[in-house]
């Protein structure tokens, strides 16, 4: 059993509070990871607010990265001392998983949001012995240690700063993969990205990597638009001052963009992202909205060959894609570290407030080390 210090959410919309908890030893297919840094993703806040009802109390956190501490008896993928990024969980057995489409695993919701293992147990309890959800995204990594499954740990090289690599496991691979793996725009094509948060900006960097000639970014915040230009946007549109659909049509000679990507989770923006497409264009939807949210689209707009598709986790095979992103980062072609600000784990409430207010693009929490551990 491992004593850990972790951020616990005890009630809907409540604060993250640091508690000392007990974490089980790894089962035969599990890996105990000493967390070096863990990103905060919008989905952590969505679950804190119970738009997705992971049972509380819970340790959230699903962009962990660190060093393997101990492994279960049957684990062969990693060994103690390896540097790893933790990603999302999938069953590995359903039709989509067998086809390499892990983001569309039939058990995706249960494996990532139920708070427990597939058998319903949780490895985590509080100082009174009461159950705490400890398998959020098969990691619950808002703490100094996390228990992951062998399947959702991804080994990365030891010579990159592991503390900032965690966001590759969710938000950054979601944006970059939506472009590189899902939409696959060819060199010279046009793409419009709606929302210049960390996911949208990862998409912008990826669009530059694959050689899109026209990269249009829409947001309400001029500072973010300036950063988007720095990272590869060729045109930016402040959606509060300009009509984005008209602006995108003007930039693309009246045709509309070949690709668009919706990264805000707002129905009104999905509509704009679809309406900005040229005939035969493809819109990727990756923003997260509360369960039951509906959108309205012009049916004849779709009839003329446009495609709208949802994309989970950037269509990634994390074991393949995360090392690719690490290499692009190492080459200076994918500078996602520019989005990151580090916070001590104890300041997780500040990190959440700054994220929600748009003061930080990607908060990464760094666990401290309590005396004696």
- Note the residues at the interface with ligand CXF (CB under 6 A): 41, 43, 112, 170, 288, 312-313
Least distance (Å) between residue 357 CB and ligand CXF: 19
**Of 86, 170, 231, 325, the one binding Zn ion by CB under 5 A:** 170
Least distance (Å) between residue 373 CB and ligand CXF: 29
> In the complex with ligand CXF, which residue's Cβ is closer, 154 or 212?
154
Least distance (Å) between residue 62 CB and ligand CXF: 7
Least distance (Å) between residue 342 CB and Zn ion: 18
d(CA 162, CA 37): 7
Binding site partner of 6, from ligand CXF, Zn ion, none, Cβ cut-off 5-8 A by kind:
none
Q: Which of 46, 59, 57 is nearest to 86 (CA)?
A: 59
Least distance (Å) between residue 312 CB and ligand CXF: 5
> In the complex with ligand CXF, which residue's Cβ is closer, 312 or 360?
312
* Contact flag: residue 112 with Zn ion (CB under 5 A): no
d(CA 226, CA 309): 28
Binding site partner of 150, from ligand CXF, Zn ion, none, Cβ cut-off 5-8 A by kind:
none
307-310 vs 277-285, strand pairing mode: parallel
12: tokens are 């809907």
Least distance (Å) between residue 159 CB and ligand CXF: 28
d(CA 54, CA 50): 7
214-219 vs 190-194, strand pairing mode: parallel
**Of 43, 133, 260, 264, the one binding Zn ion by CB under 5 A:** 43
Determine phi and psi for 155, rounding to 5 degrees.
-75, 135
> In the complex with ligand CXF, which residue's Cβ is closer, 102 or 232?
102
> In the complex with ligand CXF, which residue's Cβ is closer, 312 or 363?
312
Which residue in the block uniquely carries the two structure tokens 């894609």? 321
> In the complex with ligand CXF, which residue's Cβ is closer, 26 or 37?
37
d(CA 189, CA 172): 22
> In the complex with ligand CXF, which residue's Cβ is closer, 189 or 198?
198
Least distance (Å) between residue 294 CB and Zn ion: 23
Q: How many Cβ atoms sit within 10 Å of the Cβ of residue 56?
A: 18
Binding site partner of 156, from Zn ion, ligand CXF, none, Cβ cut-off 5-8 A by kind:
none
**Of 7, 18, 41, 165, the one binding Zn ion by CB under 5 A:** 41
Least distance (Å) between residue 40 CB and Zn ion: 9
d(CA 116, CA 145): 17
DSSP string over 223-292: HHHHHHHHHT-SEEEETTTS-HHHHHHHHTTTS-EEEEEE-S--HHHHHHHHHTEEEEEEEEE-----TT
116-155 footprint of Zn ion as x/- string (CB under 5 A): ----------------------------------------
CB-CB contact of 132 with 17 (8 Å)? no
Least distance (Å) between residue 41 CB and Zn ion: 3
* Contact flag: residue 251 with Zn ion (CB under 5 A): no
> In the complex with ligand CXF, which residue's Cβ is closer, 26 or 116?
116
> In the complex with ligand CXF, which residue's Cβ is closer, 147 or 263?
263
**How does DSSP classify residue 357?**
T
Q: Considering only the C-alpha atoms of the chain, give the largest distance between any 2 of them, rounded to a whole number of Å.
A: 66
Indicate the residue whose CB is closest to ligand CXF: 43
CB-CB contact of 238 with 201 (8 Å)? no
> In the complex with Zn ion, which residue's Cβ is closer, 47 or 308?
47
Q: For residue 352, say if its preceding peptide bond is cis, omega within 30 degrees of 0.
A: no
d(CA 318, CA 22): 29
Binding-site ranges for Zn ion (CB under 5 A): 41, 43, 170
């Amino acid at each position: 059993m491992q004593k850990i210090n972790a951020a616990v959410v005890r009630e809907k919309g409540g604060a993250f509070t640091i508690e000392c908890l007990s974490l089980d030893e790894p089962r035969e297919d599990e890996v105990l990871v000493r967390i070096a840094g863990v990103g905060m993703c919008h989905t952590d806040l969505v679950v804190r607010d119970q738009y997705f009802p992971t049972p509380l109390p819970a340790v959230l956190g699903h962009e962990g990265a660190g060093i393997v501490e101990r492994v279960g008896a049957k684990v062969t993928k990693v060994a103690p001392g390896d540097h790893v990024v933790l990603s999302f969980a999938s069953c590995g057995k359903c039709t989509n998983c067998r086809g390499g489409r892990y983001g569309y695993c039939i058990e995706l919701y249960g494996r990532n949001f139920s708070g427990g293992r597939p058998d319903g147990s949780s490895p985590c309890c509080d100082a009174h012995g009461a159950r705490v959800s400890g398998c959020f995204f098969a990691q619950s990594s808002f703490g100094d240690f996390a228990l992951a499954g062998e399947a959702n740990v991804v080994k990365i090289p030891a010579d990159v700063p592991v503390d900032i690599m965690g966001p590759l496991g969710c938000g950054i691979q979601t944006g970059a993969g939506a472009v590189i793996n899902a939409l696959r725009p060819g060199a010279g094509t046009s793409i419009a990205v709606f929302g210049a948060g960390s996911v949208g900006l990862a998409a912008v960097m990826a669009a530059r990597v694959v050689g899109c000639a026209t990269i249009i970014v829409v947001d309400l915040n001029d500072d973010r638009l300036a950063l988007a230009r720095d990272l590869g946007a060729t045109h930016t549109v402040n959606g509060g001052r300009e009509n984005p659909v008209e602006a995108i049509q003007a930039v693309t000679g009246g045709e509309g963009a070949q690709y668009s990507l919706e990264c805000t989770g707002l129905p009104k923006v999905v509509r704009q992202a679809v309406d900005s497409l040229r005939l035969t264009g493809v819109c990727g939807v990756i923003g997260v909205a509360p369960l039951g949210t509906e959108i309205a689209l012009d049916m004849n707009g779709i009839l003329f060959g446009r495609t709208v598709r949802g994309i989970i986790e950037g269509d990634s095979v994390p074991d393949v894609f995360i090392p690719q992103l690490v290499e692009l980062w190492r080459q200076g072609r994918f500078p996602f570290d520019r989005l990151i600000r580090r916070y001590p784990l104890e300041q997780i409430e500040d990190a959440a407030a700054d994220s929600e207010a748009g003061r930080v693009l990607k908060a990464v929490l760094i666990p401290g080390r309590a005396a004696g551990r």
